[in-house]
Structure formats: C-alpha cells, structure tokens
Amino acid sequence: MPSSLLAVLRPLSRAVTYTRWLHLLIAAMAGIVTGFLYEGTFRTGGWLPWLWIAVLPAPLLVLAALIPVVRRIEGLQAQLLLTPGPHGLEPRAASGIATAPSASWSERGRTAVWLLLRLAVGVGLSALTVQLPLLAGAFTMAAAGHPTRLTGLPAIEAPHWWYGLLAPLPLVLLSAVVVGAGSLTAGAARRLLGTSAAERLAELEARTERMIEHNRLAQELHDSIGHALTVTVVQAGAARAAGSPQFTERALAAIEDTGRQALADLERALRLLREDAPRPADRPTLTDAQRLLESARAAGSTVRAELSGPLETLPGPVSREGYRMVQEALTNVLRHAGPVPVSVRMAACADALELEVRNPLPATPLAPGGGGRGLRGIRERAALLGGEAETGPDCGEWRVHARLPLRRLR
C-alpha cells in the first residue's frame, strides 16, 4: 500500500479520532434537549431543525460559562477526549489544556466562546453523522433498483447500477469531516481552554518549589545518612582496634543508636517523596544537639561543648537547619580527621545564632573555603536563612563558623 494512502488512513486507526467524534456528538445533545423544550422545533423537515438546535442553547451556554467550575469541567473533558495518549490523560503541560476553574473574566469569555464553538461544530457534525450514512444507503438502494425518498435528501426516482459507485463517497466524506473537525476542535481547545499566563507562572513556581524541596531532601539525606555511616565506620574500627569488651559494648550501643536515628531520618525522607511530608516539628532541632555530641564522643572524639542562650526558643527553621549544620560539621571531623578533640559552640542571643565547630587540622587539610558537598551544604543552609558560613583553617585548626540572623524571624 502506498505510503501516501497509509498517511491518509492512519487517523482512522487512532482511538483519539473516535473520542473526538464522541466529544462533539455530546455537545450536540445540549441543543437536542433544548429543542424538545421549544414546541415546533422538529416539525419542519430538512436542515432547519439542525439550525435551530445550534442556536437555541446559546444564551444558556453563555450564562453557564460565567460559573467558574464550568471551565474545569470542559478542560477535563477536553483532556480526556481530545488529546492523544492513554485515556487522553496527559500532563497539563503536554496537553496545553487547563483544568482549573475560571479566575478572571477573560477566562470566562474564552470559556463561553469555546462552548458556542463546540455546540456549533457538534451540531453540524451530528447532522452529517445522521444524513451521510442515509445518503450512502440511498445510493446503495438505487443501485439495487429501488427508488428512495429520504427526509432531507433529494429523491432518487430513476435507480441505476452506477449509483453503487457513489455509495462509498458519503462515508469517505464523513470520515474526512470527523478527522478534520476533531483536529480543529483540539486546536481550538488549546487556545480557548489553554493555561493562562498566571497559571503558567503558578505552575512554574510550583515546579521550582518542588525542585528546591528535592534539593533540600538530598542535602538532608547526605547529612543524616552520611553522619550515621561515618560514625558507624569509625566506631567499628575503634572497637576492633581497642580489643576491649567494654569499649566494644559501648561502640555497639552507639552504632545502634546512630543507626536508629538514621532510619528515622530516612523514613521522614521517604514520606516526603511520597508527598506525605512530615511536619517540620518532627525534624530534629538544636535542642536535640546532645545526641550529636554523644555520638561523636562514642566515636572516640573528645567533645568540649559550650551552649549558651535560649536555644529552645529559636525559630523552627533556624533551629532545624542549625542542627543539620552542626551534624555535617561533626561528620566532616570524623571523616577527615578521625577521633580528634572537637570544640562545639552554640550561642543564641537576641539578634543571631552563632555556631562554631573546631578541630585540629587533618594531615591533608581541605582547601580554604573549599570542601565537598557537605561544606557547600552548610553554606547553602546559612544563605537560605539570610546568614553566612565560613569554613577553613584558622590558627592551626579547622573551623566551621556560621551566623544566622534572628531578628527578622521572630
């Protein structure tokens, strides 16, 4: 079969062609139902009743378009029946058809135009769907030698075999009209029911928020799971090297506690991915910082902590992000320097929260201001809260210092 003929017949093999046909036939039902309410609509023959049912419902459709939810209903129908794909349920960005209620008079006006256009095309296509198969039947009967008189069609008084050659033409015409009307209606739906500039902006902002949330989640997993794995490795190595049952028991207890906390953090992250996000209050804060300090001590580090100020009254975002920053700083100490002495300072005052973690420089110190994902995450968390963080050598020690402003958050 020639490729050009295949290209012509291909639309007839697509399910969306017939769902578009159904979509337009449904639109004509509003006119047909309205026609029955007006006496005399169907008393005349020919094409006049079809004209009436295309006009009578117009005022009602314009009034319906003023109801915001009508745009949503029409958008869902258009996505379901006019767009290709499994059941036509494409994402909004792919189909180009909005499914939100009308939020402006412009959207209500476009919805009204869409309803009137759908009615007019639907009634016209319904008339052809009824009349063209009848015409094909009349040609077939005439080819068999039977005169025909059908309502709305010219009478065939002199039947002849050559009418059989004309019999397929009405069906071919109907197929072409169905494909063309469906394609044009789908294009009109994208223009009249398409997303507005405000909706596109809102969707872009939502995608951006989701991306930021996913990045935050990746940082949370890096800090929490990385800390747990680092503590576990250091504890296991120290227990094996110590050869002391008492130390091994303490190390196993610390590994168990750290692993349990890591599992809790992982569960929170998985709930977030399932869009069942945990409440921010469920995440650890600086009031839980003793857990971090004990974990570092159990790994063999000597931790000197200085906590001052009302840490328990800190704003939630500052306290939660501060916890993660201290956690990442301690993880870096264990990962790069091992179980060395560490000093931790957390100072809250009226204007700011200051965090500082110091430890002796490792044999191969990190470059000033550099570091991997963890140190970069500390700086990003600080910047997100309007603060600043510095990392690098200072007076023979490695120093992580962050200052987070509080005044504008209280």
pLDDT of residue 37: 64
User: Taking 80 as the threshold, does the pLDDT of residue 330 lie above it?
Assistant: yes
Where would I find the H helices in 66-104? Answer: 68-82, 92-95
User: Taking 80 as the threshold, does the pLDDT of residue 122 lie above it?
Assistant: yes
Residues in the chain: 410
Mean pLDDT over the full length of the chain? 78
pLDDT of residue 363: 60
- Please, which pLDDT band fits residue 153 given cuts at 50, 70 and 90? low
User: Taking 80 as the threshold, does the pLDDT of residue 179 lie above it?
Assistant: yes
pLDDT of residue 369: 43
pLDDT average, residue stretch 261-275: 67
Which element (helix H / strand E) includes 388? strand 388-394
Q: How many CA atoms lie within 13 A of 213 on its CB side?
A: 16
> What is the spatial distance between Cα 321 and Cα 305, in angstroms, rounded to a whole number?
19
What percentage of residues in the chain have a pLDDT greater than 70? 72
pLDDT average, residue stretch 389-396: 88
> What is the spatial distance between Cα 83 and Cα 77, in angstroms, rounded to a whole number?
10
pLDDT of residue 89: 41
> What is the spatial distance between Cα 247 and Cα 258, in angstroms, rounded to a whole number?
16
pTM of the model: 0.51
pLDDT of residue 152: 56
pLDDT average, residue stretch 220-228: 70
pLDDT of residue 367: 44
Q: Are 86 and 155 in contact (CB under 8 A)?
A: no
pLDDT of residue 118: 92
| Closest C-alpha to 229, from 200, 276, 252, 262 | 262
One-letter amino acid of 308: S
pLDDT of residue 12: 82
Q: What residues contact 79, with CB distance under 8 A and at least 6 apart? A: 88, 89, 90, 92, 95, 97, 99
User: Taking 90 as the threshold, does the pLDDT of residue 400 lie above it?
Assistant: yes
User: Taking 50 as the threshold, does the pLDDT of residue 278 lie above it?
Assistant: no
User: Taking 80 as the threshold, does the pLDDT of residue 347 lie above it?
Assistant: yes
User: Taking 50 as the threshold, does the pLDDT of residue 277 lie above it?
Assistant: no
> What is the spatial distance between Cα 259 and Cα 255, in angstroms, rounded to a whole number?
6
Q: Annotate 332-358 with three-state secondary structure.
A: HHHHHHCCCCEEEEEEECCCEEEEEEE
Which element (helix H / strand E) includes 389? strand 388-394
pLDDT of residue 151: 56
- Please, which pLDDT band fits residue 209 given cuts at 50, 70 and 90? low
Give the highest mean pLDDT range of 82-91, 265-274, 371-380. 371-380
Q: Are 410 and 349 in contact (CB under 8 A)?
A: no
The region of weakest confidence among 50-64, 149-163, 332-346 is 149-163
pLDDT average, residue stretch 47-60: 78
pLDDT of residue 167: 83
